């Protein structure tokens, strides 16, 4: 008989010995799929994407037309060295270790401004993945001005403590006046196609016509995207949160930490669109004095304040904080990559979800050399960054399949994308893009966002429908014309017989009939 092994039961005390804090880097090292490092092909794309997105953000923040160079070299079996260099403002020496060797460290998380990055995880996560898979440090060279030397750093992340470890730190001679170069060696796989680095850079060029990209792939090929526009997009404005979007817990925290003494100053100072008059109205509704000390507001009073905020009419957030690409540049961008016969674009007015302003843009390219047999292709962008994975989990996809494309003359099965030689591009621009995960691959299904995307798609769809109807009418008229033309000589011959015409007169009659057909309005 099998002997029963004695089960050791845990007690609160034995469990207590095992309970300890988990560092954010340990968590993400175990859950690297949440950051986009779940397979070697995607890992390569994610590493390049994080570095390029940072470069573009930094250049735009500094008002510099971005020039980015990406080099990927094969260093062994399933090993690659990724190097990304920009002409941005550079990074001051003291910040380099924290930026690259610490998760959740960045300049964008605490501000509501439209940017590609928002979480403060991206580049350090890419470095951490490189370190875990190859044991190699991340290398950074950064120069902030031609008058100062460049700094060279080798940094590793200490995952147990979520702290940077500096392996090397030196001054260095470089041939560029200003900018940052980041190098990561990692386990990865290089493949071409839509979900690859090549696809990501091609799509980046569509949504960022002001950027010049030079890319050398692992096969040594040089791919260049010259900028199509010499003007920088307008700089997005920084905004304060809108009171409608703030949750109760956040409101309580803000009240505690506020430096504004009175409740009225707190409301007007911490939020956008709260004028002294609106603040007075909120306080009155919440039965609180405008002069009460904001840091001493009790829990129940905060409840009342929260309810009063949501019951008061407050102007929508300002819209100059979300900068669209623009209809003309969307069409230009699509035309650069797709040779189609029809282009259309639509930029929607700003709207709000959870208090955050956002703006939707849509572009379509139809016909030409785009393959006609398959389903339409959807290109998704969030704050000008192409999204390449998790298509079916994304609000953009949901809006595209729930739009009725049949009414615009296309074939469509229920719950699917339309058939036809169609490329649909959708750009969601916002001060805070609600991604479904830290890997920033899909946009959450907020009803306000879905509605706006649908409206943009419908506007482009209606114009496409008109184009297709016109095209069909022209094609039908052409068939009729060819048909009638075929009978003209027979008609002339019959008339010649009846009227005893000479050959010359018969020929003239034939020409005349052809002219009448050609000039007939219907054909
Ligand atoms: N090439 C660069 N030039 C200048 N500053 C940079 C560069 N790369 C990163 N930074 C700075 O480092 C910070 C951290 O970058 P990181 O990619 O980790 O986070 P993020 O871009 O803020 O957010 P996300 O996690 O969404 O990418 C950025 O906020 C930016 O201030
Ligand atoms: Mg980033």
Atom number in ligand 1 closest to CA 86: 1
Distance separating alpha carbons of residues 392 and 265, to the nearest angstrom: 45
> Which ligand approaches the C-alpha of residue 106 most closely?
1
Q: Residue 6's pLDDT is what?
A: 73
* Residue 372: predicted pLDDT: 58
Residues within a 6 A CB radius of ligand 1: 50, 54-55, 58, 86, 88-89, 91, 99, 106-108, 117-124, 180
Q: HEC profile for 202-244?
A: HHHHHHCCCCEEEEECCCCCEEEECCCCCCCCCCCCCECCCHH
Say which ligand is closest to the CA of 124.
1
> What residues contact 7, with CB distance under 8 A and at least 6 apart?
none
Ligand 2 centre and the CA of 126: distance in Å? 10
Q: Which atom of ligand 1 is nearest to the CA of 440?
A: 26
- Specify the length of the chain in residues: 523
pLDDT in tens, 2-20: 556 678 899 999 999 999 8
Residue identifier of the C-alpha nearest atom 28 of ligand 1: 106
Residue linked to tokens 């990406």: 70
In the three-class reduction of DSSP (H, G, I as helix; E, B as strand; rest coil), residue 47 is classed as helix
Res 286: pLDDT: 95
**Measured torsion, CA atoms of residues 186, 191, 194, 199, in degrees rounded to the nearest 10:** 60
Q: How far is the CA of 227 from the centre of ligand 2 (A)?
A: 22
pLDDT of residue 481: 82
Phi-psi region of 121 (alpha: psi -120 to 50; beta: other; left: phi over 0): alpha
> What spacing in Å lies between the alpha carbon of 425 and ligand 2's midpoint?
23
Please spell the DSSP secondary structure of 104-141, one letter per residue: S--SSTTSB---S--SS-HHHHHHHHHHHHH-PPEEEE
| Residues 221, 227, 228, 234, Cα dihedral to 10° | 150
Ligand 1 nearest-atom number relative to CA 109: 22
- Minimum CA distance residue for ligand 1 atom 7: 54
| Residues linked to residue 69 through DSSP beta bridges, in sequence order | 85, 214
Q: What is the pLDDT of residue 318?
A: 85
Contacts of 170 (CB under 8 A, 6+ apart): 151, 152
Nearest alpha carbon to residue 334 among 401, 417, 422, 416:
422
Q: What is the pLDDT of residue 425?
A: 97
User: CA–CA separation, 244 vs 254, rounded Å?
Assistant: 14
Beta-bridge partners for 216: 71, 222
- Host H or E run for residue 424: strand 422-430
- CA angle 53-57-60, nearest 5°? 140
Q: What is the pLDDT of residue 2?
A: 53
Helix, coil or strand: residue 163: strand
pLDDT 10s digits, 239-253: 888 898 888 998 999
For residue 179, give the ligand 1 atom closest to its CA.
Answer: 3
CA of 101 to the centre of ligand 1 (A): 12
CA of 164 to the centre of ligand 2 (A): 17
User: Cα 91 to chain center, whole Å?
Assistant: 25
Predicted confidence at residue 486, as pLDDT, reads: 86
Query: Residue 184: which H helix or E strand, with range?
Result: strand 179-187
Q: Ligand 1: distance of its center to the CA of 482 in Å?
A: 64
- Report how far residue 216's alpha carbon sits from residue 225's, in angstroms, rounded to the nearest whole number: 12
Predicted local distance difference test score (pLDDT) of residue 370 = 56
Q: What is the 108 CA–ligand 1 centroid distance (Å)?
A: 8
* CA–CA gap between residue 289 and residue 196 (Å, rounded): 58
Angle, helices 503-519/447-499, rounded to nearest 10 degrees? 160
Backbone angles phi, psi at 130, to 5 degrees: -60, -45
Ligand of minimum distance to the alpha carbon of 120: 1
Question: What pLDDT is attached to residue 485?
Answer: 82
What number of other Cβ atoms are within 10 A of residue 109's Cβ?
13
Q: Is the dihedral of CA 81, 85, 91, 94 positive or negative?
A: positive
Question: Residue 59 corresponds to which tokens in the numbers above?
Answer: 């250049």
* Max Cα-Cα span within the chain: 120
pLDDT of residue 521: 58
DSSP conformation class of 520: -
Regions of the chain short of the pLDDT cut 70: 1-5, 369-372, 521-523
- DSSP assignment letter at 403: S
Pick the atom of ligand 1 nearest to 100's CA: 18
Cβ atoms within 10 Å of 361's Cβ, excluding its own: 24
Strand 179-187 vs strand 79-86: parallel, antiparallel, or unpaired? Answer: antiparallel
């Amino acid at each position: 008989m099998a002997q029963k092994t004695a089960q050791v039961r845990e007690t609160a005390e034995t469990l207590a010995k095992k309970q300890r804090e988990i560092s954010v880097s340990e968590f993400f090292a175990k859950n690297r799929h949440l950051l986009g490092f779940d397979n070697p092909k995607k890992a390569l794309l994610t590493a390049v994407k994080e570095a390029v997105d940072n470069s573009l953000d930094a250049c735009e923040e500094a008002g510099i037309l971005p020039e980015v160079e990406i080099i990927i070299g094969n260093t062994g079996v399933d090993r690659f060295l990724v190097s990304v260099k920009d002409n941005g403002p550079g990074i001051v020496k003291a910040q380099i270790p924290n930026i690259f060797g610490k998760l959740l460290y960045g300049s964008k998380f605490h501000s509501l401004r439209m940017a590609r990055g928002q979480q403060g995880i991206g580049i350090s996560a890419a470095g951490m993945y490189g370190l875990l898979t190859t044991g190699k440090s991340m290398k950074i060279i950064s120069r902030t001005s031609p008058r100062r030397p460049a700094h060279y750093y080798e940094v590793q992340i200490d995952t147990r403590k979520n702290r940077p470890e500096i392996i090397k730190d030196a001054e260095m001679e470089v041939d560029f006046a200003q900018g940052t170069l980041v190098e990561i060696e990692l386990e990865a796989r290089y493949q071409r196609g839509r979900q690859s680095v090549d696809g990501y850079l091609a799509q980046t060029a569509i949504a960022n016509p002001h950027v010049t990209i030079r890319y050398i792939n692992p096969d040594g090929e040089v791919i260049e995207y010259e900028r199509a526009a010499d003007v920088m997009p307008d700089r997005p404005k920084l905004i304060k949160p809108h009171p409608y979007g703030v949750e109760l817990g956040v409101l309580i925290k803000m009240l505690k930490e506020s430096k504004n003494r009175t409740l009225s100053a707190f409301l007007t100072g911490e939020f956008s669109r709260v004028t002294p008059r609106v603040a007075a109205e909120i306080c009155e509704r919440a039965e609180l004095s405008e002069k009460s000390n904001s840091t001493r507001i009790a829990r129940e009073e905060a409840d009342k304040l929260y309810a009063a905020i949501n019951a008061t009419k407050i102007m929508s957030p300002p819209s100059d904080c979300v900068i669209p690409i623009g209809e003309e540049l969307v069409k230009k961008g699509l035309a650069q990559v797709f040779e189609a016969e029809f282009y259309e674009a639509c930029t929607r007015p700003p709207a709000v979800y959870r208090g955050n302003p956002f703006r939707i843009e849509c572009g379509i390219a139809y016909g030409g050399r785009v393959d006609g047999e398959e389903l339409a292709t959807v290109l998704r962008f969030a704050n000008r960054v192409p999204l390449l994975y998790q298509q079916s989990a994304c609000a953009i996809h949901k809006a595209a399949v729930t739009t009725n494309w049949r009414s615009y003359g296309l074939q469509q099965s229920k719950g699917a994308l339309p058939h036809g030689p169609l490329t649909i591009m959708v750009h969601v621009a916002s001060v805070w893009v609600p991604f479904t995960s830290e890997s920033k691959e899909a946009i959450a299904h907020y009803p306000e966002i879905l509605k706006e995307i649908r409206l943009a798609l419908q506007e482009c769809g209606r114009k496409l429908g008109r184009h297709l109807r016109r095209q069909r009418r022209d094609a039908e008229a052409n068939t009729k014309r060819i048909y009638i033309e075929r009978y003209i000589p027979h008609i002339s011959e019959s008339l010649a017989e009846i009227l005893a015409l000479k050959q010359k007169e018969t020929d003239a009659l034939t020409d005349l009939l052809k002219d009448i057909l050609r000039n007939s309005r219907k054909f």
